[in-house]
Amino acid sequence: MFKKARIFILIFILILVAAVQWKTRSQLVEWDNSVWTVIYPIAADNSPNTLDYIESLTIEQLAAIEAFIKDEADHYGIATEQPIKVSLAIPINQMPPKPPENGSLLQVMLWSLQLRYWAWNNEDKSLAGDISLFVLYHDPALMPMVPHSLGLEKGHIGLIHAFASKNMTQSNSVIITHELLHTLGATDKYDLHTSLPIFPEGYADPELEPLYPQQTAEIMGGRIPVSSNEADIPEHLNQTLIGRLTAQEIGW
């Protein structure tokens, strides 16, 4: 009986939260005003390289994200002068709650609430962001492959894993932008098992003849298809674009 009551209360809270967030999302994707996005750097390890990288991080290193969204918005006729504005918060020390491994529906729901509460506690209220992206930086010498990132439309929160390396600042911007678009309603357009872009929606130019190699990645497809079973990871946002379906999903 207690378990049923707890589930009912949790569902009720989620419904209330979802209702508020649906209204917020509707306002964001009207694109009448700039969508403020705050990036919160977090050191995911104790490496001096990671700490030095975060301390040296500047808003100029993230400017490619604003420029990319602006160029793509212009392509789709969005009149907003600056659709996305990015600000950089000071680093935070609190790690986010870990998602449950193979968790039950109840555990996932509980984690979702915990994450949103954690985000609310760690957001800089003076920055008044519409979207909060928490970027966990890893020293590539300690972790050559980072965990999967995620962007939550419900809550407009992103948990992003990136590399603490100046050589990978631009490829980090690709991942950050991918997750940013998730928070606005964009869906993945790649096969979760193979990581290959799905044809045609995951291809930047699905009408290209011959089809391969593609020259650009659809940002939510994640990679540049070079053959039917091979795809390259884009190194910077200049190698990506926003396809028609993604544009529709975010209200363009």
The tens digit of pLDDT for each residue in 56-108 reads 999 999 999 999 999 999 999 999 999 999 999 999 999 999 888 877 877 88
The per-residue pLDDT for 184 is 96
The per-residue pLDDT for 99 is 85
Instruction: Find the distance separating the first CA and the last CA of the chain, reported in whole Å.
Output: 47
| Strands 230-232, 157-163: pairing kind | unpaired
Which residue shows structure tokens 């300690």? 142
The per-residue pLDDT for 93 is 93
Burial of 173 (0-12, 13-18, 19+ CB in 10 A): buried
| Strands 230-232, 224-227: pairing kind | antiparallel
Which residue shows structure tokens 């053959």? 227
The per-residue pLDDT for 111 is 86
pTM, entire model = 0.88
Which residue shows structure tokens 């996305």? 84
What is the phi/psi pair of residue 162, to 5°? -140, 170
Q: What is the rounded CA–CA span in Å between residue 212 and residue 205?
A: 10
* Share above pLDDT 90 across residues of the chain, in percent, rounded to a whole number: 78
Per-residue pLDDT tens over the stretch 143-189: 999 999 999 887 899 999 999 999 999 999 999 999 999 999 999 99
Q: What is the rounded CA–CA span in Å between residue 234 and residue 204?
A: 12
pLDDT at 17 over 80: no
Using pLDDT thresholds of 50, 70 and 90, give the confidence band for residue 8: low
Q: What is the rounded CA–CA span in Å between residue 204 and residue 238?
A: 12
Q: What is the rounded CA–CA span in Å between residue 171 and residue 110?
A: 32
User: Does an H or E element contain 88, and which?
Assistant: strand 84-88
Neighbours of 2 (CB within 10 A): 6
Q: Would you kindly state where each structural domain of the chain is located, as residue ranges? A: 34-185, 188-252
